[in-house]
Structure 1
């Protein structure tokens, strides 16, 4: 299932989605020493693309059960598990970012129905809380990606 999400992410990247004002998760400036986790770069990039594509879905359009966006949290968790196993290779900021993403994944878990509904609900407080959790997860994942 993870590989299908990665394949979709590459497909979406190749096809493009037109002009978008959404931020994207992209690699930071290359370091002189290279990536501390070169073996994980393809997965980190693919999940970053998937998160970027899923962010566009949070505009009120329900997420179909077969849509990979409905399964993005397990994909993020899987790649963060792999990064965490090798986190000693990351700079301190990257290690802190991994910890932050773990916390953010726990915070967004109650928002699964909100996410499946396209990022809207009749409860304004739930909308605000879940949007904040999504934004934090997106930002945290970007920090992990850029440090790796």
Structure 2
């Protein structure tokens, strides 16, 4: 599954979405000392591409089961787990973002119906909860990626 996510990410990068208003996970400017986790950069970038692609699907329209963004969450969890093993190398902001991503991954687990509905449902509470969790996950992942 790990390598299929990376392959999918490269495929998605090649195809592009054609929409410039989508959020992106943009790498921070390289530091003088380099990345504290250089071995994880390719995976962090690949998962970032998958999350950006998910953002494009969250437009309030039902998505095909294969496009349900909950399928990406195990890959996010996996790479976050690898970063956690080396978290002592991260700056304090990166460690805080890592804790936030872990918290949001736990909260987003109940959002599969919301993802399947493309980021909207008939349940206003579910919509609010899942949108908040998604936004926090996306923002936190970007911060983790940039600190690593």
Shared fold (TM-score, shorter chain, > 0.5): yes
Question: Shorter-chain TM-score: what band?
Answer: over 0.9
Q: Equivalences for 1:91-106 in 2 at 5 Å?
A: 91-106=91-106
Structure 2 matches for 1:72-111, cutoff 5 A? 72-111=72-111
The 5 Å alignment of 1:19-58 reads: 19-58=19-58
Structure 1 residue runs of 5 or longer lacking an equivalent are none
Deviation at 1:112, TM superposition (A): 1.6
Taking the aligned partners of 1:65 and 1:2, their CA distance within structure 2 comes to 19
Q: Contact 1:5 / 1:68 at 8 angstroms: preserved in 2?
A: no
Q: Deviation of residue 68 (structure 1)?
A: 6.8
Residues 98 and 144 in structure 2, CA contact (< 8 A), matched pair in contact too: yes
Q: Distance in 1 between matches of 2:7 and 2:60?
A: 25
- 1-structure distance, mates of 2:75, 2:92: 24
TM-score under structure 2 length normalisation = 0.94
* TM-score normalised by length of structure 1: 0.94
Q: 2:71 is matched with which residue? A: 71
Question: Per-residue deviation at 1:124?
Answer: 1.5
Deviates more, 1:66-75 or 1:46-55: 66-75
CA root-mean-square deviation? 1.3
Check conservation: 1:64, 1:70, Cα contact below 8 A.
no
CA distance in 1, matches of 2:115, 2:53: 13
Q: Tell me by how many angstroms 1:43 deviates.
A: 0.3
The range that moved more, 32-41 or 58-67, is 58-67
Q: How many residue pairs end up in the alignment?
A: 148
